[in-house]
Structure 1
Amino acid sequence: MAQTTTGLRAILSQPWAYELLQTLLGTGHMRRVFIKDYVRPFAGARILDLGCGPASLIEMLPRDIDYTGIDLSPDYIASAKANYGDRGRFQVMDAASLCATGETFDIIYSFGMLHHIDDDRCRHVFEMASAMLKPGGRYITFDPCYAEGQHWFARKIGDWDRGDAVRTPDAYMTLATSAFTKVDHAVRHDLWFLPVSVHLMECHKQ
């Protein structure tokens, strides 16, 4: 696990603290853009939120979808069930365990997860995502990045992040293309009121 969970950063492992920080930072616009422009849910879609945390992105999704959220944190899953139990299924589980059930999905997404795990685990996640997608399905990712020409403050935010594996766009792409042959990607600097650089990938199952 490429993540710092000591000191002040340990507090963010608690669902209430994580959500409070997101609210104070005003990340609602960022989440809405991610869902509307990149996830692009459609009626009846089977959607997997991989590394769902407290599953707050479900608020941006329509109700006419079939949602599953998995995370390794029992605290996050307990919070998701308490707040959104009528909106989907939430399980303490890793991608490999879910993949072993044979379930498949139209859309899989990870919002802010890849920069918390090392390269080997990232490759495994992409392999599992590819295996769980239906033909024509998509895996969409969103993570902070170190990008050429980015604002100095955006780089500092990457340094301060609880995840210890913030990468360059090329590094994220190298990991994605280990399992997907078609990957669209973009670097965005305009999704927050502060100068933050994020990397988005849309991986297509052929």
Structure 2
Amino acid sequence: MKHVLELPALYQFYQELGGFFGARVTAIRDYLELRPNARVIDIGCGPGYILRHLPATIDYVGLDIDEPSIAFARARFESRFFDADAARELGPADVVMMNGVMHHIGDDDLVATLGHVRNALKPGGVLFTLDGCYAPGQGRLEKWLLDNDRGLHVRRADEYRHLLEQAFPDVEMHVRNKLSRLPYTFAIGVAKAA
């Protein structure tokens, strides 16, 4: 299953079928204010479908290390998608999004990455994160989905918060269930740069 999800179109189909993509759209709507002309850098943009659900007035740039996803996004949307090596030239940003990214990165590398993200934000800029998380009372299917995620570092919400707080002075963490069709718990982080 994990190898099938490496194909951008099948990954997006799975995300929509399980309701995970809709959860991302809902979380962005509920917790992230996107002002007109805001510079938004989307780290881990995957096949780029989120662009269809963001205001047309923002200045969006999608980044990913997965070349097939970047090629897929470029072919279907625009040339605003780049590989991760271009990240240094794209700041400063009003918003950085990391949807479904933190659970792919080990603690030490994540703390370093978050420091780079903080430095890429304008003063008062916002990092928005969304990842699956472990929580007490999860059912077997939900735990199985988290245990079998392609990301090897699924955490509890308090662990995500702790890592965000190592780079950001102001962190909100929201835990949401019932955002997707399949049972799943999401940790939604909103971290503000000084």
The normalised TM-score by structure 1 is: 0.88
User: Are 1:98 and 2:87 matched, yes or no?
Assistant: yes
1:130 alignment counterpart: 118
- In structure 2, C-alpha distance between the alignment counterparts of 1:150 and 1:14, rounded to whole Å: 29
1:48 alignment counterpart: 41
2:24 alignment counterpart: 31
Matched length: 194
Structure with the higher strand share, 1 or 2 = 2
Q: Quote how far apart the aligned CAs of 1:28 are.
A: 4.4
Q: Quote how far apart the aligned CAs of 1:144 are.
A: 0.4
State the identity %: 35
- In structure 2, C-alpha distance between the alignment counterparts of 1:105 and 1:196, rounded to whole Å: 30
Contact map agreement 1:110 1:140 (CA 8 A) in 2 = yes
Q: Quote how far apart the aligned CAs of 1:176 are.
A: 0.7
Residues 40 and 105 (structure 1), Cα distance of their counterparts in 2 relative to 1, 3 Å cut: same
Structure 1 unaligned blocks of 5 or more = 1-7
User: Are 1:159 and 2:150 matched, yes or no?
Assistant: no
Contact map agreement 2:118 2:168 (CA 8 A) in 1 = yes
User: Are 1:14 and 2:14 matched, yes or no?
Assistant: no
Contact map agreement 1:31 1:60 (CA 8 A) in 2 = no
Residue 70 (structure 1) aligned to one of 63, 74, 91: 63
User: Are 1:196 and 2:189 matched, yes or no?
Assistant: no
Alignment RMSD: 1.5
The normalised TM-score by structure 2 is: 0.94
Residues 194 and 24 (structure 1), Cα distance of their counterparts in 2 relative to 1, 3 Å cut: closer
